[in-house]
Amino acid sequence: MGRVCGANQAKLFTVSPAPLRFYEFFAGGGMARLGLGEGWTCAFANDFDPVKAATYRANFADAADHFHQGDVFALEARDLPGRADLAWASSPCQDFSLAGGRAGLGGGKSSAFFGFWRLIEALADEGRAPRTLVIENVSGILTSRNGADFTALAQALADQGYGFGALEIDAAAFLPQSRPRVFVIATRDAPPPGLLGPSAGHSRGVQAAAARLPAALAEHWIWWRTPRVAARNTDLASLLEEDATVAWHTPERTAQWLAMMAPLHRARLEACLARDERAVGALYRRMRLEAGVKTQRAEVRFDGLAGCLRTPRGGSSRQVIVVAEKGRVRTRLLSPREAARLMGLPDSYRLPAAATSALHVAGDGVAVPVVRWLARDILEPLLGRGAASAAA
């Protein structure tokens, strides 16, 4: 509290605290930055991908001041200004993905994590290590190489004096998209007691990963407490474009999708057709092993959720919208703007003009409302903001 004296009266005022500073590695289109919000300022951001870099610059007027496009391995500690309260890293996930080859931290893409970690170690040597880290990745990080990769990550954190814990959070709690991700939150500070306790984010996978840790690493483990998430009030249909504004498949293409459905999924569709109301579903192509033969199937869901967005590297990665109404079935591709909405991005967010590029940015990002929730209920109280909620 400060005091300013006028000629005849004193006026009290409060000084707003300076924004929390953060570095964002593998920043993509800046979705973590959007989730952190106005109480944070980005001191440095980086990404290697030229499409993502152009998208970041298009959406943040101050990008020229802090965004660096290039390989994380080419960065040095001197490139990172000052000291950050937080370093956020959403390193490439392909080698951790349950759908991939499970090469783990030794894989060609997820090994980019070590480029990030080399910088954290260098900052620590200079006395500038961030107080808090968030490492976000797919759920496969918990089990990659039978848990050896997660243990290696835990060891790296402990060696630099960080306590750590993990939360597995599905964006479906906030958005109509099934998108489970693991958030490893590490701190050099002693967490306030109000931040410790039960959480729905302590999934079976997280509990098993914690149980596998050697005793010396288990001593560094933190069970982060999170409050219950309010019920989501949107579904897939509410985020879609108007029917008249999008391009629908021909009846022949729609028939091809239906022919690819296994009996279970065709039955789901028929059940929707039997009802009077409009039903909206999401469909992906998947390879299934049937009687020892790999068969491509179209799998549809009508639970109000889209499937997890992917980057459009192959034809099967593009999600399809299915509408069943008045005995008729129509199909079309999910639009880039719809994909952005499924990530929690506002319609004012500038997407690349090319659909493939826009879907790449959206599918490789982090869900904005999940970041905001973590920031509000863990990161900000941990860093001395919103302390009242941390003590509750």
Per-residue model confidence as pLDDT tens for the chain (392 residues): 333 334 444 445 555 678 999 999 999 999 999 999 999 999 999 999 999 999 999 999 999 999 999 999 999 999 999 999 999 999 876 555 444 555 666 666 557 888 899 999 999 999 999 999 999 999 999 998 899 889 989 999 999 999 999 999 999 999 999 999 999 999 999 999 999 999 999 999 999 999 999 999 999 999 999 998 988 999 999 999 999 999 999 999 999 999 999 999 999 999 999 998 999 999 999 889 888 999 999 999 999 999 999 887 654 568 999 999 999 999 999 999 999 999 999 999 999 999 999 999 999 999 999 999 999 999 999 999 865 444 44
Are residues 195 and 318 both part of a single domain? Answer: no
Are residues 309 and 382 both part of a single domain? Answer: no
Give the residue from 315, 334, 353 where a domain finishes. 334
168-178 burial, b if ≥16 CB within 10 A, otherwise e?
bbbbbbbbbbb
Are residues 57 and 198 both part of a single domain? Answer: yes
- Find, among 264, 285, 274, the residue nearest to 329 by Cα: 274
Are residues 304 and 369 both part of a single domain? Answer: no
Are residues 198 and 266 both part of a single domain? Answer: no
> Does residue 223 lie in a domain region?
yes
> Does residue 102 lie in a domain region?
yes
Are residues 137 and 176 both part of a single domain? Answer: yes
**Structural domain that includes position 308:** 242-334
Strands (E), the chain: 2-5, 10-13, 20-25, 40-47, 67-69, 86-89, 132-138, 163-170, 180-187, 279-290, 293-301, 320-325, 328-333
- Find, among 182, 162, 169, 181, the residue nearest to 222 by Cα: 162
pLDDT of residue 262: 93
Given the structure tokens 């965004």, which residue do they identify?
A: 67
Taking the C-alpha atoms of residue 122 and residue 136, their distance in angstroms, rounded to an integer, is 21
Are residues 144 and 117 both part of a single domain? Answer: yes
Taking the C-alpha atoms of residue 84 and residue 377, their distance in angstroms, rounded to an integer, is 19
Are residues 185 and 36 both part of a single domain? Answer: yes
Are residues 216 and 249 both part of a single domain? Answer: no
Q: What's the structural domain count of the chain? A: 2
Are residues 65 and 126 both part of a single domain? Answer: yes
- How far the first Cα of the chain sits from its last, in Å, is 24
Taking the C-alpha atoms of residue 311 and residue 169, their distance in angstroms, rounded to an integer, is 20
> Does residue 54 lie in a domain region?
yes
pLDDT of residue 4: 37
Are residues 221 and 252 both part of a single domain? Answer: no
pLDDT of residue 312: 72
> Does residue 208 lie in a domain region?
yes
Q: Say what angle helices 204-212 and 148-159 make with each other, to 10 degrees.
A: 70
> Does residue 67 lie in a domain region?
yes
Taking the C-alpha atoms of residue 165 and residue 186, their distance in angstroms, rounded to an integer, is 7
Given the structure tokens 């590029």, which residue do they identify?
A: 357
Taking the C-alpha atoms of residue 98 and residue 154, their distance in angstroms, rounded to an integer, is 20
> Does residue 350 lie in a domain region?
no
Prediction pTM value: 0.90
Are residues 221 and 156 both part of a single domain? Answer: yes
- The answer to whether 130 and 122 have CB atoms below 8 angstroms apart is no
Taking the C-alpha atoms of residue 23 and residue 21, their distance in angstroms, rounded to an integer, is 7
> Does residue 11 lie in a domain region?
no
> Does residue 247 lie in a domain region?
yes
